[in-house]
Structure 1
Amino acid sequence: MVNKLSVVSILTMILLFLGQEKIDAASLSELEQTKQQIEEERYNIKMELKRKNTPELVMKNSKLVAKENAYKMAIKYLEDDVKRTESESSVIRRVSINPGEIPEPYIPIYQVAAGRYGVDWTVLAAIHQIETRFSTIKTMISSVGAIGHMQFMPVTFAAYGVDGNGDGKISPWNMEDAIYSAANYLAANNFSHDIRKAIWHYNHAEWYVNEVLATAASFSIKNN
């Protein structure tokens, strides 16, 4: 039986294979076509299994089932996001991004999320700036598979993702969900007791921790 994390890992590979820079109808069409090919392959394997039930065929069928489930998950995931991509992208386009400054409309999101989870809102802003330049980078899928506004690995987001905007859905591609999830993740890693260690869990590198803290400190000075 394929567990949830295995399916999410396969989904990561699907997204990387597509190399997509945005969520769109073309991506959905490509996923649908591939899913159909997998279903056809599974049907052929099923027919072979009726003639000869070998361990090799059983294993191949199990892998195809996992792959098919991952594609179904990817399709549903992207279908939900296609509906809000246009409106969310238009909001981002309207926000003025000045180097070294936090976009003003984002500040209340950081502050409310920080208050809910007991973290520093300037740290959330710093992570957002460092990870995706406040969601303005061309693609929000990294070379190692981190995705969305706050660059979560899908497996991590599956464990710590929360519904930030109250729409009943949880997605790293929704800015509020991503920011609230980052706050949740920092809190879960004992931010209140060890800020450096909590940030380190976000990206296992001391230079990253130093950069986040320095950026957060500059934001704190400018916004007080």
Structure 2
Amino acid sequence: MGTSITFKRPDGGDATGYLALSGRGDGPGLVVIQEWWGLSDQIKATCDRFALAGFTALAPDLYQGTIVPYHDAEAAAQEMQSLDFQAATSQDVGGAAQFLERNGAPVGLTGFCMGGAITVIGAATIPGLSACVAFYGLPPDGVIRPEQIDVPLQGHFANRDDWCTPETVDAFEAKLKEAGRGYEFFRYDADHAFANEQRVSVHDRAAAELAWDRAVAFLGQHLMA
């Protein structure tokens, strides 16, 4: 349904990604950020699904073509650790947002796992966004300050997550409350990456569909109003 494209970063360099067009010419834009596995078929299919829901979805390829097999968590961790999160957010994700802004429609941001963490960084640092939705990912302490977030933020987290742990989510939520930021967090009795249909060992269809419905409604409220 979608296609691979090249777009400009704010620094003038080139970035690549997967673009799925909505059926609406004036449909809002949505940047979709990959898991730590890379720009996988799962993320591309998620872009396609967002396009069917009325969004023009663009997933920047943060690993520049590298896709890690699901069984190799060690390699995925190495790829993630070698990524400059700040540059990826400001340049690749920021460039994708600028590309989607060209038709004048609102732009949102969503991401999964590592992409969830980058979504929160983007919520604090990328200007002009209208809504952000993070799935089971938060940035490490000190990367951003919760008071920097001035865009509506929704989060979906797993109660059996050993990476983005419930304790981490609780601590970040407390800081958002203290800073008076607008957000809503949902928690599911599921494992990390419960929305990834390709990972049958952790996929939870009921939780995934509930999170999807909530995310689409939230994005529609803020991007399609």
Superposition TM-score, scaled by structure 1 size = 0.24
Structure possessing the higher radius of gyration over alpha carbons: 1
Select the structure that is richer in strand. Answer: 2
Superposition TM-score, scaled by structure 2 size = 0.24
